[in-house]
Chain A
Amino acid sequence: MDYNAKFTNIHMDAIREVGNIGTGNAATALSRLLERVVNMDVPVAEMVPIYDVATHYGSPEMSVCAVLVRTEGEFSCSLIFMIDEEKAAIMTDLIIPMDISGMDEAARMQIRDSAIAEQGNIILGAFLNALSKITGWTLPTTTPAVARDMLGSIMDLVASMFGVIGESAMLVKTSLHIKDVDEELAGTVIMIPDPGSLECLLAKLGVL
């Protein structure tokens, strides 16, 4: 059966609403952490052919920083927070309470990796908390994993996750815009429900 055909507009609306509530909570958490206004876009939920996933959000060779957490149990899902590599440095420096510009490259990267992991953890943890509240599910999360790499390489993994069961991937994407900084600063939250998990979520929400 085609994985695409199973989801109607009502299903897509419900999935988008989950993205909305999750990212809303994530934006609030990030705003508190950074002590700055954080705005969010309207979430986009879409089925993307797995062969296009790597290029769907930009050039495959674009350099990005990504934080991934997973929840496994009643509902299994991966969440990725992704931000341009250069913007990641600006965002992490907002919470690093000292000047690290004089340190050597390796030490700086280590501090920034730790900071972005924590920021990603707070953003994605808040998303999952919201999801836990609306479903009543306990959603234990893994510790955050950080990758700094090409966009295509990171999305490659996402394509493989869905490739096992079908030809398209359900991606729910929302942009977060951080205000009161000198430069335009925006990151992206992507929810990637494990194949098969969406059905559980839709059933729980009463639309399946």
Chain B
Amino acid sequence: MAQPIHVGMADLVVSRHPATLITLGLGSCIGLVIFDQVSKTAGMVHIMLPDSREAHNIPKPGKFADTAVPFLLDELYKLGAIKAQLRAKMAGGAQMFAMPGKSDNAIFAVGNRNIEATTKMLSVAGIRLMSSDTGGSKGRSVEFSTETLKFTVKTLGTGTKEI
């Protein structure tokens, strides 16, 4: 078993098989993994915000959904991944605090906006989203293994599931 690689906030990591990619304590952020079903080359990105057009500069492409997806695909192609074999899984996008009467508050709804933006970017890129565990109010820790191509999602209180 390879040493697990931690994917920090706004980080983007790609690796050939075998690899284990993990992200701890996702709240409103998204853990997105795209992998080649055949060669098992995989990449994970920890997306913080939906749209880079709201920002003054883009220091890390992994920070925004609209820059993260194309960049992750490019990195995967560099490792020889083949587009028709690529699939995606994602988790995260929780709303950590329920603000009464403030559900439309842009910053507290950032989880939902992250889910929407990431889903849209995958669809624009023509990558099939196989499964996801998103939304709700609980944080998640995620782990992707290129061995099983399973995305393990841990939530405090409710335990672990595989998607």
Does A155 contact B97, Cβ atoms closer than 8 Å? no
- Give B9 Cβ to nearest chain A Cβ, in Å: 5
Known contacts A54-B9, A160-B110; A60/B25 CB under 8 A = yes
Q: Which of A60, A142, A148, A154 contacts B24 (CB 8 A)?
A: A60
The number of residues on chain B lying at the interface, defined by a beta carbon within 8 Å of a beta carbon of chain A, is 35
Bound-state Cα–Cα, A58 to B145, Å: 26
Contact-size category for A:
20 to 34
Bound-state Cα–Cα, A170 to B54, Å: 20
- Give B6 Cβ to nearest chain A Cβ, in Å: 10
Bound-state Cα–Cα, A58 to B96, Å: 18
User: Using Cβ atoms and an 8 Å threshold, which residues of chain A touch B141?
Assistant: 60-61, 150, 152
Q: Which of A68, A143, A160 contacts B49 (CB 8 A)?
A: A160
Known contacts A159-B9, A167-B59; A143/B100 CB under 8 A = yes
Bound-state Cα–Cα, A167 to B63, Å: 10
Bound-state Cα–Cα, A61 to B11, Å: 18
User: Using Cβ atoms and an 8 Å threshold, which residues of chain A touch B108?
Assistant: 157
Does B27 contact A166, Cβ atoms closer than 8 Å? no
- Give B30 Cβ to nearest chain A Cβ, in Å: 10
A-B contact pairs, 6 of them (CB 8 A): A51-B60, A68-B97, A146-B97, A156-B96, A160-B28, A160-B29
The chain A residues found within 8 Å of chain B, CB to CB, are 50-54, 60-61, 63, 66, 68, 70, 142-143, 145-157, 159-161, 163-167
